[in-house]
Chain A
Amino acid sequence: MSAGEGLSAVRRRLRREAEGDGLGLTLLSGAIAAAVLSPVAWLFLRVVDIPATEALSLLTAPSTTRVLTNSVLLVTAVTAASVLLGVPLAVLTVRTDLPARRFFTVVLALPLVVPSYIGAFAFVSAFGPRGALADVLAPLGIERLPEIYGLPGATLVLTLYIYPYVFLTTRAALLSLDASLVEAARTLGEGRLGAFRQVTFPRIVPGIAAGGLLVALYTLSDFGTPAIMQVDVFTSYIYVAYNGFAADQAALLSLQLLGVTTVILALESRIGQDDASAYASGGGGAATRIRLGAWRWVAALACLAVTAVALVLPVAVLLLWLFRGGPGYAGGGFPFELAFAVNSVGVSAAAALVSVVLAVPVGYVAARRSSLPARLAERATYVGYAVPGVVLGLALVFFGVKFAPALYQTLPLLVFAYVVRFLPQAVGTASSSVLQVDRQLLEAARALGESPGRAFRRVTLPLIWPGVLAGAALVFLTTMKELPATLLLRPTGFETLVSYIWQVQEAGYYGLAAVPALTLIAVSALSMAVILAQERR
Chain B
Amino acid sequence: MTERPGARDGSRRTRRRFLAATGTASAAALAGCSGFLGGDGGDGGDGGDGPGGDSLDDFRGSGANVGGRGEISGTRMDDLPDLSGQLNIYLGGGEGGLYTDLLSLLSDRYPEFNPNHRLEPSAQLASKISEEESGDGSFADVFWAVDAGSLASVASQGYTRALPDDVVSPVPEQFRPDDAWVGVAGRARAVPYNTNQLSESDIPDTVRQFPDTSALQGAMGWAPSYSSFQAFVTAMRLLRGDQATRQWLTSMQDAGVSSYNNEFLVSNAVADGEIAAGFANHYYALRVKAARPDAPIDLAFTSGDAGALVNVSGAEVLRGTEKVDLAENFIAHLLTVEAQEFFATRTFAYPMISGVPPVGGLPRIDELSPPDVDLSRLSDVEGTIDVLRDAGAL
Q: Using CB atoms and an 8 Å cutoff, list the residues of chain A in contact with chain B.
A: 61, 63, 66, 129-130, 227-228, 230, 232, 236-237, 239-247, 249, 327-334, 390, 394, 397-402, 405, 408-409, 487-488, 490, 492-493, 502-504, 506-509
Contacts and interface: CB of A to CB of B under 8 A. Distances in A.
Contacts of B212: none
A402 B135 contact: yes
A490 B116 CA distance: 13
A383 B97 CA distance: 34
B126 A240 contact: no
Interface residues of B, number: 61
Contact of B35 (A63, A332, A490, A507): A332
Contact of A508 (B117, B137, B264): B264
Given A237-B394, A402-B136, A507-B95, A330 B124 contact: no
B123 A331 contact: no
B38 interface: yes
Given A246-B382, A503-B93, A332 B37 contact: yes
Interface in B371-390: 379, 381-382, 384-385, 389-390
Report whether over half of chain B's contact residues are helix, strand or loop; otherwise say mixed.
helix
B124 A492 contact: no
B264 A328 contact: yes
A507 B102 CA distance: 14
Interface in B86-107: 88, 93-98, 100-101
B249 interface: no
B238 to A, nearest CB: 15
A487 B97 contact: no
B225 A240 contact: yes
Contact of A503 (B119, B134, B259, B389): B119
A130 B194 CA distance: 15
A401 B131 contact: yes
B118 interface: yes
Interface in B341-371: 346
Given A245-B123, A504-B97, A332 B38 contact: yes
Contacts of A399: 135
Contact of B385 (A230, A244, A333, A397): A244
B213 interface: no
B97 A506 contact: yes
A330 B38 contact: yes
B101 A63 contact: no
Given A227-B261, A244-B385, A329-B35, A398 B118 contact: no
A503 B381 contact: no
Contacts of A227: 225, 261
Contact of A230 (B98, B259, B382, B392): B259
B139 interface: yes
A144 to B, nearest CB: 11
B385 A130 contact: no
A228 B261 contact: yes
B97 A129 contact: no
B274 interface: yes
Contacts of B290: 329
A244 B287 contact: no
Contacts of B390: 63
Given A61-B389, A493-B118, A508-B95, 4 more contacts: A63-B389, A331-B38, A503-B119, A508-B97
A490 B118 CA distance: 9
Nearest to A58: B386
B24 to A, nearest CB: 21
